[in-house]
Every structure is written in C-alpha cells, then in structure tokens.
Amino acid sequence: MAPPQVAQVECAEARRLLDEYSDALKAFHDARSLLRTISPADPRFSAATQARENAFEKLAAARRTYWAHVGEHSCRLVAVNRDPEETENRLREDMLQARREFQDAVTQSEEIIHMARDVRATADGQMAREMAQRMREKAYDRYAVALKRFSVFVRTGQFLDMPSDRR
C-alpha cells in the first residue's frame, strides 16, 4: 500500500532542495551498486570507488542543505487538508502495514541468512546475506517513517512530510 497522499511540500525552495537530495541519493545508490559489481582487482575499481566517494559527498551536502532549510523555515510540517479522522486512520493503516512488512522481512532475512550459512564461503552465500540485510533495512526504514508520520499526526495534528528513504 502506498503512503497516504495527504500533503505536499508547499515551500518551492524546500521542494527544489528535496528533489536535489533525491537525485543525489539515487546517484549514490547507483555508484554504490556499480562498485559492488567490480572486483578490487579490476582496473576500474579505483575509479568506481572515487565515483562512490564523490556521490556520497554530494549526497551529504544535499542532505545538509535540505535539512538546514527545513530547520530554518519549518516548512516540512504542513497542514492536512483532509478530514483529521480519515487521515489518522489512513496513517495508522499505513503504519500497521509497514510493520507487518518489516516483520515479514525479518523472518525472510533470517531464513535466507540461515540457508546462506551452508554456502557461506561462496559468492552466492555472501550475495544472499547482503540481499537479506538490504531487504530488512529497507522494510525497517519504511516502518520507521510510517510510525513517525502517524505519531506526529496523533500528537500535533500535522502531517510530517519527510523523505521515505533516510539513506
């Protein structure tokens, strides 16, 4: 289930900075993924490592700029235009669904890690463990965002518009 679309970032500058942050995050993930496919013995490994470091620096700068703007202008919190009870119910439903997905991911990742022990010395075993860890982290991040959105709304009546991927 997609998160409820109950608010938008109303500040144009925050939206622009969030878009830059999202682009930098995608570039970092792309660089990191490429690096994972290259052996340290490969002549391209050094260049790929440098590309990942450059992408990380850009990501860190974009993240700092976005959050500095949000901190200064408090434009991350926006009023909800829907019925508060409907919004709370949708946020609760999203949070509970994200929790179920996280619990399922934990179970699946533990099973994968257990099975990977049999092939631990192989590349397949290592790849299975890494995949299980990423799957678990992604589900946890989604649950943490959904839980935070729900709890902030219940406490303050405001919708917390935040990136869904904290990495």
Residue 47 is predicted with a pLDDT of 92
Residue 117 is predicted with a pLDDT of 67
Asked if residues 13 and 55 have their Cβ atoms less than 8 Å apart, the reply is no
Q: Render 35-103 in DSSP notation, one character per residue.
A: HHTS-TTSTTHHHHHHHHHHHHHHHHHHHHHHHHHHHHH--SEE---S-HHHHHHHHHHHHHHHHHHHH
Residue 13 is predicted with a pLDDT of 85
Q: Which residue(s) pair with 159 in the sheet?
A: 78
Asked if residues 52 and 35 have their Cβ atoms less than 8 Å apart, the reply is yes
User: Residue-wise pLDDT tens for the chain (167 aa)?
Assistant: 344 444 455 578 888 888 898 899 999 999 988 888 888 888 888 999 999 999 999 999 999 998 888 777 766 655 445 677 887 888 888 889 988 998 988 888 888 777 766 665 677 777 777 888 888 888 888 888 888 888 877 877 776 665 544 33
Write down the residue that tokens 């533990």 correspond to. 110
